[in-house]
Structure 1
Amino acid sequence: MLTRSLREEWFSNIRGDILAGIVVALALIPEALAFSIIAGVEPKVGLYAAFSIAVVAAIAGGRPGMISAATGAVALLIGSLVKNHGVEYVLAAGILAGLLLIGAGYLKLGSLMRFVSRSVITGFVNALAILIFLAQLPHLVDAQPAVYAMVAGGLAIIYILPRFTRAVPSPLVCIVVLTAITMGMQWDLPNVGDMGAFPDELPFFALPAVPFSWETLSIIFPYSVSIALVGLLESLMTASIVDDYTDTPSNKNRECRGQGCANIVAGLLGGMPGCAMIGQTVINLKSGGRGRLSTFVAGVLLLILVVFLAPWVRQIPMAALVAVMVMVSISTFDWRSMARLKTNPKSSSTVMLATVAAVVATGNLAIGVGIGVLLSAIFFTEKARRVLAVSSTLDTATGQRHYVVRGQVFFASSEALVSEFDFKEAISSVLLDLSHAHFWDITAIEALDRIIHKFRRNGIAVEVTGLNRASATLIEKYATHDKPGANVASSGSH
């Protein structure tokens, strides 16, 4: 069983994975260099991270076909740490973040993805597509006419070539052809070499050169928590997107542990921390990558290219990579979501648009997704509150009022429940039927206490019936209107 699983995840798509890995490796180089600049570290810190995180995540991660490396979101987080304390503290923070991610995996925090609504995921995807496109604009503003021609030609290759053949990924053909044209015509165009210096040696294992003290821990811990949270969020969101794209499941908790291991190895090899990259993942998927081999090839080939083939790689025109990333932006954006704005519930559309706006405005995916999740929770709470209903009938012969409560009683609906009763009605007793209700929290139990106490203060006897087992347990434990079970009948059937 294990052997078959390994074969399916690693060797079921060898040709497609290798070709996709080549495309991703070429596209990763300028991004790793750019993220190094954002973080304020040497280019090799980003490149070593891209290599180590991709390779380790390919082996230990829970989502085949997903690309992980140094990312912009993490680079933004560590900028102040680099400035105030130096790169060695960044490496230590990455290792600690890795340990936190491993802990999150064993605590099964990956299952928290079920609380992220589809509207938030759509907003996350659309915002990232916009950010990817905006990141290409600096390469196009005030550029030479030849750059625009190269980008247009690259996009033509990417979109037209698949109509004739899919033997080779069109993004790879785009990069090779445009590089050959640039070198053949000897055009002086911006290229990958302009992004920063390449390392001239292989990475080696070494502990970060920081004091092992409580002071060091107090410095890096806040950064490590932020890195872990952002990494966890981006990686799990990206994994869910790949699940949908490939119609295959993934192990989210294993992905947490895999990302943790990857960040630990990156820190020990002199690389900055990182996480999953949706842009590069889309490139991988569009190029035919599906298994772990594509991610592994991308990481290993990147290291070979920047250390041993740097003179050639430096010649790749940025226009070729801009064309690839524009394709990624277009492919990533969920265009159908715009048409659904008129048909979807207003709350869902609001959550999606708010997520997009927050991510694009802040450049921080975690903040945008956090806002989206918060809005989703608020809208859900409001909907749940509205479904609470109380009906009643009066038995004139006995003077008893029969109340039937239907719906969910929790902190948001407890006040509405209390307001449904007439505590001063001239009746002898009240039968409170809770067969169709569920009490979720202490606030709901406190509301029930208030209802019963108010009736009793007016000389009206109260009998409660129909509680399901979970509600009855809460009431027996936390209610104050009577001793446990004294006047409460539990059906135990719901």
Structure 2
Amino acid sequence: MAHLFQPKFFSVLKQGYTKQQFTKDLFAGIIVGIVALPLAIAFAVASGVSPEKGLVTAVVAGLIISVLGGSRVQIGGPTGAFIVIVLGILQTYGFNGLLISTMMAGVILILFGLLRLGSLLKFIPHPLIVGFTSGIALVIFSTQIKDALGLTIAELPSAFIPKWGAYFSGLGSMNYWALGITVVTILITVFFKKVTSKIPGSFVAILVITALVQVLDVPVTTIETVFGEIPNKIELAFPSIEWSQLGAYLAPALTIALLGGIESLLSAVVADGMIGGNHRSNTELIAQGVANVVTPLFGGIPATGAIARTATNVKNGGRTPLAGIIHAITLLLIMLFVGKWAKLIPMSCLAGILIVVAYNMSEWRSFISILKGSGFDILVLLVTFFLTVLVDLTYAIQIGVVLSSLLFMKRMADSGKNATMEVDSDVLENYASLPEGVAIYEISGPFFFASAKQYCSILKSIGSRSRVLIIRMRHVPFIDATGIHNLKAVVSELKHGHTRVILSGVRPEVLKELEKHEVTGLLGEGMILPSFDLAMSKAREL
């Protein structure tokens, strides 16, 4: 148990903690707390719960995830990905059912960590992740149109297509003041970083627009007109549990756990790349589980690692979990002493912030890139995307994983029919005579979602110590979108460190995929060679 649960916070304290780092963590924590304020409110409102539920989640879950987590810089709290899930659970099971489902999801996440499933969740294919992330982004955008346009629609359908039908039918009730506020909010949120990157544009938009709406008495709906007063306190709120009904909450709980686990580990991996660290995946899952068991006891909603807030933490100098703890304390102080004024925020202002969030989540560049790739990846992407938008995220993840597995087996069967081999001279098979500064790594087997991370981790380690890295790919029958995504990241990082990469013995079908995704351009002209002896000659030239 001890080796499965090793929070980074306590490891950092044992290693020693300097005053200089505390100053950086303090500054980063306060900035992230300010960034998290409008997002926590907006995510709660978009999820169909009152604003303080988002603030409570950001404070309680954010604190627990930072203290117990397996990442040095992970920031936890409510995220955009859960808006769709929380809305669906609320409509089906009510708020009490949401709290029970979240607590059950927390238990499942703890079990994932104890069973060492942290590494398995990393094997979710890239097209599947992009598919449901882009789908969620479109659903979030669609939920904000009513407030963005100030439409007066009494009963808004939950399904995607009927919802848009209701929007078109209700265009006659558009409030142009609300539309103007939405547009101005988007412009401030997007472009304020040109003024300064220290203060988030979303925070500035809320302050400026809320003040103007109150001073000019602009006729738009606010948080107060929809939700009433916002409590400025945190108190226990135990859900009423009927043990005989727990089975009904298993499906939503599993959805929360899977999405929470995937998003948290993705965020931790991104953070590792930014700080050159290594997170402890099973510890992170256990911490996320504990956070989701405890937070509902205070009336909170599901929480997970937040990629945007984690990146903000890193960019502002945060390097230890103390920054995340300070972020939670900052939010708590704001909630206690300033929270009562949040009721004045216009709903159209929150809609503008969430539209920007949806755009940032959409990953449209990755979406288009995968559409240029193999038919297998395109199928997984589109099936996951359309199921997320038109049916349900639970089905999208389940069917996406099954489809990815079936297509992988098909690919493996097909690759056996087209096996070709690179022919090298016997002399050059002896790696003992390598020139100084040249390293070689041979990949054997498919370069796909289950192996890509491991291969690329080794490539990064070997390449960072060399001037030239030759990657032998004669035994690679195919490469999928996840493999290409990770390979491009490694090549870019090594190029930044002045290491040249040469590919050797690439099969025609693999080369075709590399060309489609512009990996050949990233490597440079003449860096993909048909045989190992030619690759060695090129390495000597370099």
Q: Which category describes the TM-score, using the shorter chain as reference length?
A: 0.5 to 0.7
- Spell out, residue by residue over 1:136-157, the C-alpha distance to the aligned partner (whole angstroms, 9 max, x if none): 2121234422222222222322
Once the two structures are superposed, residues 125-173 of structure 1 have per-residue CA deviations (whole angstroms, 9 ceiling, x without a partner) of 3223222322221212344222222222223223333223323222222
Using the TM superposition, give the Cα deviation of residue 384 of structure 1 relative to its aligned residue in structure 2, in angstroms. Answer: 0.6
Residues 94 and 224 of structure 1 are in contact (CA less than 8 Å); yes or no, is this contact kept in structure 2?
Answer: yes
Q: How does 1:114-153 map to 2 (within 5 A)?
A: 114-141=122-149, 142=151, 143-153=174-184
Q: Deviation per CA, 1:35-74, whole angstroms, max 9, x where unpaired?
A: 354xxxx776565444322322232233434432383354
1:109 aligns with 2:117: yes
Aligned residues of 1:234 and 1:276 also touching (Cα < 8 A)? yes
Larger radius of gyration: 1
Contact 2:40 2:54 in 1 (8 A): no
Alignment length (residue pairs): 384
Counterpart of 2:215 in structure 1 is 184
Rounded Cα–Cα distance in structure 1 between residues aligned with 2:16 and 2:381: 37
Q: 1:282 to 1:257 in 2, by over 3 A?
A: closer
Partner of 1:322: 351
AA aligned to 1:131 is V
CA gap 1:209/1:350 in 2 versus in 1, 3 angstroms: closer
Partner of 2:193: 162
In the superposition, relative to structure 1, how do residues 194 and 286 fare at CA in structure 2: closer, same or farther (>3 Å)? farther
Percent of pairs identical after alignment? 24
Q: Which residue of 203, 215, 231 corresponds with 1:172?
A: 203
- Give 1:313 deviation, angstroms: 1.0
CA contact (8 A) 2:106 2:291 kept: yes
Post-superposition shift, 1:337?
A: 2.6
Other-structure match for 2:412 = 384
CA deviations over 1:220-255 (Å, ceiling 9, x no partner) = 556544543443344344545555677754332122
Aligned CA-pair RMSD = 3.9
CA shift, 1:263, in A, is 1.7
Residue 194 of structure 1 pairs with residue 206 of structure 2: no
Structure 2 residue aligned with 1:2: 12
d(CA) in 1 for partners of 2:127, 2:224: 40
For residues 145 and 367 of structure 1, do their structure 2 counterparts lie closer, same or farther at Cα, with a shift above 3 Å needed?
same
Q: Separation in 2 of the partners of 1:165 and 1:61? A: 31
Matched AA of 1:193? E
Structure 1 unaligned regions, length at least 5:
392-406, 409-435, 437-494
Preserved contact between residue 147 and residue 319 of structure 1 (Cα < 8 Å): yes
Q: In structure 2, the residue corresponding to 1:188 is in which secondary structure?
A: coil
Aligned CA distance change for structure 1 residues 169 and 136 (closer, same or farther; 3 Å): same
**1:327 to 1:287, Cα distance in 2 relative to 1, 3 A:** farther
Shift of 1:354: 2.0
> Are residues 1:367 and 2:367 paired?
no
Residue pair 1:96, 1:264 contacting (<8 A) in 2 also: yes
Comparing 70-79 with 148-157, greater Cα deviation is found at 70-79
Secondary structure, counterpart of 1:328 in structure 2:
helix
Which of 53, 72, 86 is equivalent to 1:75?
A: 86
- CA spacing shift, 1:120–1:278, aligned 2, 3 Å: farther
Distance 1:226 1:352 in 2: 19
Distance 2:323 2:288 in 1: 17
- Provide the C-alpha distance between the structure 1 equivalents of 2:128 and 2:84, rounded to a whole number of angstroms: 18
Alpha carbons of structure 1 residues 264 and 176: separation in structure 2 relative to 1, 3 Å: same
Give the 3-state SS of the residue equivalent to 1:110 in structure 2. Answer: coil
- How far residue 107 of structure 1 moved from its aligned partner, in angstroms, is 0.8
Amino acid at match of 2:59: F
User: Is contact 1:36-1:43 (8 Å) kept?
Assistant: no
Q: Assess if the C-alpha contact under 8 Å between 1:119 and 1:349 holds in 2.
A: yes
With normalisation by structure 2, the TM-score equals 0.60
Confirm whether residue 336 of structure 1 aligns to residue 346 of structure 2: no
Q: Which residue of 2 aligns with 1:28?
A: 40
2:483 — aligned with what?
none
